[in-house]
C-alpha cells in the first residue's frame, strides 16, 4: 500500500495547469458505446477511474488506442456483450453510466450493482425510473439490475427527477438519444459535465437542447456518427488548488479553467478574505500576509456550492479566524474526513448534516486515512498547513481522481512524497 508523506513547507507559489475533468470524461467515454464509428477524446486525464472505464469499454468490444496518453480513440463497431463485468463495476460507481448507452443501442443491459466511494447510500432508483419511463422493463435482483427495451426499442417520454442527480441525468440522456420520439428530463442536473456530454452527443448527431438548465429536451435520432471532442477542465481540481493556495497563505496562478464553473468557490474564498482575480491566462489566487476569516458553506446541486469541494474547504476553514458552519445537503454521509481532521487537532463537531468548525486550529500532523477521494485531498491540504509530518494512507482514492497530484503540488513548492510500503 502506498502512502503520502506531507509536510508544511510554507506558502505555495507558482503556476499549475488543470487537467481534463474526471467527471466529464467518464460519461463521454460511456457515450462512445452509442456509435459504431471512431470517437476521439482529447485532454483525457491519466487517472485510475479512466483506466477502469477503458477496461469496461473493452469488455463490451471497444477497440481503444491511447498511445498518446492525453488522447483517447475509441471505436465500438460491434457490442460483444451487454453484460457488465462485476470485477470492473465494483471498482467504480460511475461504470453504471454504460447502462443507458447499452440499453439504447442494443435494447438490453445487465449490470452487477455498483461500488465506488463510501459516501452514504448512493442509490440508482432515479436512473431506473428514467429507463422505465422510456419503456424498458427493469428487473432488480439483490446484486444486479437488468433492463430490456420492448421490440420497438425505447420510446421518448417525460421524466421528472425527484432530485437533480448528475448520474441519472447523464444515463437517461444517453438512453434517450436513440429512442423513438421526444424525451424531456425535468428537474435535470445542471452541472457543466452534463453540458459537456450534451455537446459531445450533439456533435455525434444527437438532438439535445436545454442542457445546463433544469429541463432537457432530447429528440431521438436513428444513429450517431463519430466525434472529436476536448474534455472541459476539472472544476474540482481547480477548487482544490485554489484552496491549496489559501490554506498555505500562498500565491498561485491556476491555468486552463472555466471561471463560470468555479463561481461559488471563488465567492466563498473572497468572503474569507482571499484575493481571487481572473487574469488573461488564468485565475490568480493570493492569500499572503493577511488575516483570513470564517464563513458558512451549504453544498447544493450546481450552480450551488459543490459537494466535492466541501471537505477541502473544511480543511481550510479549520485554519481561519472564527468558527464556520458547513452543511452537506447532497450526500447523507460525507463527513468522514471530520474524524481524520480531528485527529490532527481540528476539534470539529457534527450534528446530522452540519459540521461546526471552530477555526484558529493549530493542526498537527499525524497518521490519517483518506476515506474517499475528496477527503484525501482535504487531508493533503491540512498536512500542508500542519506542524510536524502528516502520513496519509489509502491514497488510491486520491489517484482515482487527481492527475499527477504529487507532481503538481511539488512544482508549487509543497513537501509531499509518495512512499510504497
Q: Which among 159-167, 283-291, 311-319, 320-328 is the span making contact with ligand UD1, rule CB under 6 A? A: 159-167
Question: Which residues contact residue 28 at a Cβ distance below 8 angstroms, ignoring those fewer than 6 apart?
Answer: 41, 196, 197, 200, 229, 231
Residue among 164 and 220 whose Cβ is closer to ligand UD1:
164
Decide: is 163 part of the binding site for ligand UD1 (CB under 6 A). yes
Which set of grid coordinates corresponds to residue 203? Answer: 456533435
Contacts (CB under 6 A) with ligand UD1, residues 8-67: 23, 26
Q: What is the DSSP string of 42-54?
A: ES----HHHHHHH
End-to-end CA distance of the chain: 5
For residue 238, state whether it binds ligand UD1 (rule: CB under 6 A).
no
Among 48, 90, 122, 353, binds ligand UD1 (CB under 6 A): 122
Question: Which residue reads 491514497 in cell numbers?
Answer: 395
Residue 190 interacting with ligand UD1 (CB under 6 A):
no
Candidates 160-168, 212-220, 261-269, 280-288 — which segment interacts with ligand UD1 by CB under 6 A? 160-168
Helix (H, G, I), strand (E, B) or coil at 184: strand
CB 25 within 8 A of CB 44: yes
Q: Is residue 360 a contact point for ligand UD1 (CB under 6 A)?
A: no
Active site residue 39: no
Interface with ligand UD1: number of residues (CB under 6 A): 21
Catalytic residue among 39, 106, 117, 272: 117
CB closer to ligand UD1, 167 vs 359 = 167
- The interface region with ligand UD1, picked from 28-36, 64-72, 140-148, 162-170 by CB under 6 A, is 162-170
Decide: 23 and 10 in contact? Cβ < 8 Å: no
* Residue-by-residue DSSP string for 17-80: EPPBPHHHHHHHHHHGGG-SSEEEEES----HHHHHHHHHHHHTT-EEE-SSTT-EEEE-SS--
Measured between alpha carbons, how far is residue 406 from residues 221, 279, 411 in Å? Answer: 44, 26, 9
**Burial group, residue 200, by CB count within 10 angstroms (0-12, 13-18, 19+):** buried
240 binding ligand UD1? (CB under 6 A): no
Q: In terms of CB distance, is 195 or 287 closer to ligand UD1?
A: 195
x/- map, 294-333, ligand UD1, by CB under 6 A:
-------------xx---------------------xx--
Interface residues with ligand UD1 (CB under 6 A) are 23, 26, 94, 121-127, 163, 165-168, 189, 193, 307-308, 330-331
Amino acid at each position: 500500500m502506498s502512502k503520502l508523506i506531507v509536510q508544511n513547507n510554507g506558502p505555495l507559489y507558482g503556476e499549475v495547469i488543470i487537467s481534463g475533468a474526471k467527471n466529464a470524461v467518464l460519461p463521454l467515454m460511456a457515450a462512445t458505446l452509442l456509435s459504431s464509428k471512431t470517437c476521439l477524446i482529447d485532454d483525457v486525464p491519466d487517472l485510475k477511474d479512466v483506466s477502469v472505464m477503458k477496461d469496461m469499454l473493452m469488455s463490451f468490444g471497444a477497440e481503444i488506442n491511447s498511445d498518446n496518453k492525453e488522447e483517447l480513440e475509441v471505436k465500438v463497431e460491434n457490442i460483444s456483450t451487454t453484460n457488465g463485468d462485476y470485477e470492473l463495476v465494483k471498482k467504480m460507481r460511475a461504470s453504471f453510466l454504460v447502462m443507458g448507452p447499452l440499453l439504447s443501442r442494443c435494447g438490453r443491459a445487465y449490470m452487477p450493482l455498483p461500488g465506488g466511494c463510501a459516501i452514504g447510500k448512493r442509490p440508482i432508483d432515479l436512473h431506473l425510473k428514467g429507463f422505465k419511463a422510456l419503456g424498458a422493463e427493469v428487473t432488480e435482483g439483490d446484486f444486479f439490475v437488468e433492463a430490456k427495451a420492448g421490440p420497438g426499442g425505447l420510446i421518448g417520454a417525460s421524466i421528472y427527477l425527484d432530485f437533480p442527480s448528475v448520474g441519472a441525468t447523464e444515463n437517461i440522456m444517453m438512453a434517450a438519444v436513440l429512442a423513438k420520439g421526444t424525451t424531456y428530463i425535468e428537474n435535470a442536473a445542471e452541472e457543466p459535465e452534463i453540458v459537456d456530454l450534451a455537446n459531445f452527443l450533439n456533435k455525434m448527431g444527437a438532438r439535445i437542447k436545454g442542457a445546463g438548465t433544469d429541463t432537457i429536451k432530447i429528440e431521438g435520432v436513428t444513429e450517431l456518427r463519430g466525434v472529436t471532442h476536448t474534455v472541459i477542465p476539472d472544476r474540482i481540481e481547480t477548487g482544490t488548488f485554489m484552496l491549496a493556495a489559501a490554506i498555505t497563505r500562498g500565491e498561485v496562478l491556476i491555468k486552463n479553467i472555466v471561471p463560470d464553473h468555479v463561481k461559488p468557490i471563488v465567492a466563498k474564498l473572497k468572503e474569507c478574505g482571499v484575493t481571487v482575480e481572473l487574469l488573461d491566462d488564468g485565475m490568480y489566487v493570493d492569500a499572503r500576509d493577511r488575516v483570513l476569516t470564517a464563513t458558512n458553506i451549504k453544498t447544493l446541486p450546481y450552480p450551488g456550492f459543490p459537494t466535492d469541494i466541501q471537505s477541502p474547504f473544511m480543511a481550510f476553514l479549520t485554519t481561519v479566524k472564527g468558527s464556520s458552519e458547513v452543511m452537506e445537503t447532497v450526500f447523507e454521509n460525507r463527513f468522514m474526513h471530520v474524524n481524520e481532521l480531528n485527529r490532527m487537532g481540528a476539534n470539529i463537531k457534527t450534528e446530522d448534516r452540519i459540521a461546526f468548525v471552530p477555526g484558529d486550529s493549530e493542526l498537527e500532523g499525524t497518521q490519517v486515512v483518506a476515506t474517499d477521494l475528496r477527503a484525501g485531498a482535504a487531508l493533503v491540504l491540512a498536512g500542508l498547513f500542519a506542524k510536524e509530518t502528516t502520513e496519509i494512507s489509502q491514497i488510491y482514492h486520491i489517484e482515482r481522481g487527481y492527475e499527477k497530484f504529487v507532481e503538481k503540488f511539488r512544482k508549487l513548492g509543497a513537501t509531499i512524497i509518495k512512499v510504497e510500503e
